[in-house]
């Protein structure tokens, strides 16, 4: 199973993607997690990414594309993966197309987690009080939502045109969202057989 999660910050992508990857028994790859780990570990990638994360801006495509291409080439990704937070721009979607085409792979689905703005801001501010994430503050949240609308949301249309989009209402409680996701994936897998 090869899936992508798209959704605004606070939609619950991370929570849902981790659980779905465990259920599908595939690799979970969150580019945001990789950047945060590298910042904590003080690596050159962390140093290059830090100012972008702190400002709520996107890390340049070249850095992000390279890290995803390297990870997807590892053996454990051969049986599938769930990308969480990548691609986030049309150029990244293009880069992903190339990486997958080179190894004759295709995406099975792109999950859009849809959540209204007020719920998002509320969730992010609540998370910010406990997560300690430097980008969960009101002005940076606004910037991240802008980035989502301008840079990432166009991907929803792209994957819809390709017949890959799976739209899920992310407003519901996390267990119900996960149940809907699994039902949808199960339906697709059985209809393919």
Which residue of the set 50, 133, 164, 182 is catalytic?
Answer: 133
Exposed, middle or buried, 69 (CB in 10 Å: 0-12/13-18/19+)? middle
Intra-chain end-to-end CA distance of the chain, in Å: 13
Q: In the range 94-113, which residues lie near ligand AMP by CB under 6 A?
A: none
By CB under 6 A, tell whether 8 contacts ligand AMP: no
By CB under 6 A, tell whether 38 contacts ligand AMP: no
By CB under 6 A, tell whether 12 contacts ligand AMP: no
Is 147 marked active-site?
Answer: no
CB hemisphere CA count around 122 (13 angstroms):
6
C-alpha–C-alpha distance, residues 147 and 174, integer Å: 25
By CB under 6 A, tell whether 50 contacts ligand AMP: no
Dihedral of CA 143/145/147/150: which sign? negative
Options 37-45, 85-93, 98-106, 165-173: segment touching ligand AMP (CB under 6 A): 85-93
Which residue of the set 50, 71, 105, 127 is catalytic?
Answer: 127
- By the criterion CB under 6 A, which residues form the site for ligand AMP? 9, 31-32, 35, 52-53, 56-59, 64, 85-86, 88, 92, 135, 144
């Amino acid at each position: 199973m090869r899936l992508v999660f798209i959704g605004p910050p606070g939609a619950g992508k991370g929570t849902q993607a981790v659980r779905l990857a465990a259920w599908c028994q595939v690799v979970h790859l969150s580019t945001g997690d990789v950047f945060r780990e590298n910042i904590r570990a003080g690596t050159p990638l962390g140093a290059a990414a830090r100012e972008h994360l702190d400002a709520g801006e996107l890390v340049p495509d070249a850095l992000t594309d390279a890290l995803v291409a390297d990870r997807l080439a590892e053996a454990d990704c051969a049986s599938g993966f769930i990308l969480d937070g990548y691609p986030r721009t049309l150029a990244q979607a293009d880069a992903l197309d190339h990486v997958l085409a080179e190894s004759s792979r295709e995406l099975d689905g792109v999950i859009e987690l849809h959540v209204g703005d007020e719920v998002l801001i509320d969730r992010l501010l609540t998370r910010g009080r406990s997560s300690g994430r430097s980008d969960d503050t009101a002005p940076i949240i606004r910037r991240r939502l802008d980035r989502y609308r301008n840079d990432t949301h166009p991907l929803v249309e792209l994957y819809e045109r390709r017949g890959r989009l799976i739209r899920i209402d992310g407003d519901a409680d996390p267990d119900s969202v996960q149940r809907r996701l699994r039902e949808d994936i199960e339906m697709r897998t059985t209809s393919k057989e």
